[in-house]
Structure 1
Amino acid sequence: MQCPDCGDERTRVIDTETSADRMAVRRRRECQRCSFRFTTYERPEWDSLQVKKRDGAIEPFDRSKLRSGIERAVEKRRVTDEAVTDLVDTVETGLQNRETRIVSSGLVGELVSEHLRDVDKVAYIRFVSVYKAFSEPEEFLQELDAVLDAEVDDFEPADRPNT
């Protein structure tokens, strides 16, 4: 491992810790030349997982691309960074647990929207409007009505205000 400060390759591990989801290893390192300390993260790279796009192109699964799409949806919403990380982890784990190594971008979108709906309904609407590529306002309204109807169904009769 190369030191980010001086570029020397002689570094040693000072401390190792497993992340809460047990999907990554955090290592504190120290350069033996300049004593600079830095942190590295090891995460298994699933080279075999590929995403088939709408146009038929196949590309490697990109966790950061998934995260940025979710972050755009939750922008200016009260969704913590930790909740975004958990969502990315959940989707990635769901994809890894599939028997196939090539998954459609549609499946990725379905998994994100399925979990994002529970996190924040506005972010969910933002996400599906891009993911489903609504071309007509009626399509957007249909999805919005479905979310609102589900919210009304979630109310217990005792929770409803007196009219």
Structure 2
Amino acid sequence: MKCPFCNQDNTRVVDSRPVEDNNAIRRRRMCDECGKRFTTYEKVETIPLIVIKKDQNREQYDRSKIEGGVLRACHKRPVPVQKINELVDQVEIEIFNLEEKEIPSTVIGELVMNHLKDLDPVAYVRFASVYREFKDVNTFMDELKKILK
């Protein structure tokens, strides 16, 4: 690691500790030449994930889209924000554990619905009504019947 002050490459790590979210490591370094200290952060580099939309367009994976959909489904429901974040984390872990470079949005939607079903049935039906594009009351009722069984 090069020193940002004198540009020498003989630096050493003085202290290491995980960052709050445990997704990176904070390292305090000291330059052996000039004696100044600086901080670096190491983070695992992930392969960009591409989502294949229903219309076959492709776009880069965006966690905030899952969060937004779940938040809308849970609007005015007694679901703590912590539970929503845990749900999104679980879905994201499952997505990346598939180890695919491209993933259909339908797979993501099904994962979200599986977790929402356990979290809050009303939020599940709300999400399903948008995700599955219910055309009429009968398809809506069919989904409700599945939950009641």
Q: TM-score range by the shorter chain?
A: 0.7 to 0.9
Check whether the contact 2:47–2:101 (CA below 8 A) recurs between aligned residues. Answer: no
Indicate whether 1:83 and 2:83 are aligned. Answer: yes
Partner of 1:61: 61
Structure 2, unpaired ranges of 5+: 1-16, 27-41
- Report which of the two structures shows the higher radius of gyration computed on alpha carbons: 2
Partner of 1:128: 128
Query: In the superposition, relative to structure 1, how do residues 44 and 74 fare at CA in structure 2: closer, same or farther (>3 Å)?
Result: farther
TM-score in terms of structure 2 length: 0.72
The superposition leaves residues 36-73 of structure 1 with CA deviations (integer Å, 9 ceiling, x where unpaired) of: xxxxxx97564421100000001011001110010000
Query: In the superposition, relative to structure 1, how do residues 135 and 43 fare at CA in structure 2: closer, same or farther (>3 Å)?
Result: farther
Whole-angstrom distance in 1 between the partners of 2:101 and 2:140: 32
2:19 partner SS: strand
Check whether the contact 2:51–2:104 (CA below 8 A) recurs between aligned residues. Answer: yes
Number of residue pairs matched? 123
Partner of 1:93: 93
Question: Alignment RMSD, CA only?
Answer: 2.7
Partner of 1:74: 74
Whole-angstrom distance in 2 between the partners of 1:112 and 1:123: 11
1:124 partner SS: helix
Q: Which has the higher relative contact order, 1 or 2, with Cα contacts under 8 A spaced 6 or more apart?
A: 2
Report the identity percentage: 40
Structure 1, unpaired ranges of 5+: 1-14, 28-41, 150-163
Query: In the superposition, relative to structure 1, how do residues 123 and 141 fare at CA in structure 2: closer, same or farther (>3 Å)?
Result: same
